[in-house]
Amino acid sequence: MATQHSRSAARIMMAPAVILLLGWMLVPLTMTLYFSFKKYLPLRGGDLGWVGFDNYARFLSSSAFWPSVQATLVIVGGVLLITVIFGVLLALLLNQPMWGQGIVRILVIAPFFVMPTVSALVWKNMFMDPVNGLFAHLWKVFGAEPVSWLSEASLQSIILIVSWQWLPFATLILLTAIQSLDREQLEAAEMDGAPPLSRFGYITLPHLSRAITVVVLIQTIFLLSIFAEIFVTTQGSFGTRTLTYLIYQRVLESQNVGLGSAGGVYAIILANIVAVFLMRIVGKNLDA
């Protein structure tokens, strides 16, 4: 049992790491809050003084704000839906005995290690290009007119690209959870005559609830800040401008650091609202 002296020594040894972590988080947040109340134009006069909540009002009243929030939530929701459903199916498939099982698992997980920029470039040029892309050639084989995916189905294309990248992560977590399932329960249910769908619905799926919760929470954190895929493919056009990309445009393209900082605060608020919502709806499974 730890004594008071050992606990004090542990706190002292952990203090540098905690201080560094707090500084890593608080310094950027403080700077963002600071600049959000100022009119700061680096290439057009620099620091032009305090403007109060004017940046917040301008960003919120912008015609691009609410569409960017909507696009962000649609992308997050679409990717979560695809990765959870197909992640469960792939995990069930990979859990079955097969020849070359280890190699198959590595191939399925491989897309997660591809950089988002590279992944987006591959999909844009090799698959979705309306002239030379693989999908265009497939469409021509069946006598159909090739589709310009990134302009005609832009939001769906972004969801597909991001889902391809995050599906291995969901599959890996869910496969680990399935492998921890007590086989005796499934064997007992099978001996009692329960059909496969009933065994999945009453035994496997409840067992996966905690893993699904972890997948949803972790992916949501990263998906709310999606940027590289949009920058490489559509550059925010055709309704794919997310809140993160809108902030980028305000800061780098418009050179308005104050306005972009206000957008960053809104992004933090949105992320916290979504996180609280998820914790209340699905996060309770972690305590089950």
> What's the average model confidence in pLDDT over 120-134?
84
**pLDDT for the residue numbered 160:** 92
Is pLDDT above 70 for 278?
Answer: yes
H-type helices in 192-227, by residue range? 196-199, 205-223
Residue-wise DSSP of 28-84:
HHHHHHHHHTEEEETTTTEEEEE-TTHHHHHHHHSTTHHHHHHHHHHHHHHHHHHHH
> What's the average model confidence in pLDDT over 9-28?
81
Is-above-0.75 flag for pTM?
A: yes
> What's the average model confidence in pLDDT over 126-131?
82
> What's the average model confidence in pLDDT over 22-49?
80
**pLDDT for the residue numbered 3:** 67
Is pLDDT above 50 for 107?
Answer: yes
Is pLDDT above 50 for 1?
Answer: no
**pLDDT for the residue numbered 85:** 92
CATH of 4-287, one of 3.40.50.720, 1.10.3720.10, 1.10.10.10, 1.20.140.10: 1.10.3720.10
Is pLDDT above 80 for 62?
Answer: yes
Residues 6+ apart with CB under 8 A from 55: 36, 37, 38, 39, 258, 259, 261, 262
Residues 6+ apart with CB under 8 A from 196: none
**pLDDT for the residue numbered 251:** 79
> What's the average model confidence in pLDDT over 110-135?
84
**pLDDT for the residue numbered 132:** 82
Q: What is the pLDDT of residues 166-204, one digit of tens each?
A: 998 999 889 888 888 777 777 677 777 777 777 777 777
**pLDDT for the residue numbered 250:** 80
DSSP 115: -
CA distances from 116 to 28, 121, 185, 230, 232 (A): 24, 9, 40, 10, 9
Which residue would you say has higher pLDDT here, 286 or 218? 218
Residue 61 dihedral angles phi and psi, to the nearest 5°: -85, -5
Q: What is the pLDDT of residues 70-93, one digit of tens each?
A: 999 999 999 999 999 999 998 888
**Average pLDDT across the chain, whole number:** 82
Which residue would you say has higher pLDDT here, 216 or 190? 216
Which residue would you say has higher pLDDT here, 225 or 6? 225
Burial class (CB in 10 A: 0-12, 13-18, 19+), 243: buried
Domain positions in the chain are 4-287
**pLDDT for the residue numbered 288:** 54
**pLDDT for the residue numbered 249:** 83
Q: Angle 173-178-182 (CA atoms, 0-180°, nearest 5)? A: 145
**pLDDT for the residue numbered 287:** 53
Closest residue by Cα to residue 216 from 116, 120, 284, 119:
284
Which residue would you say has higher pLDDT here, 188 or 262? 262
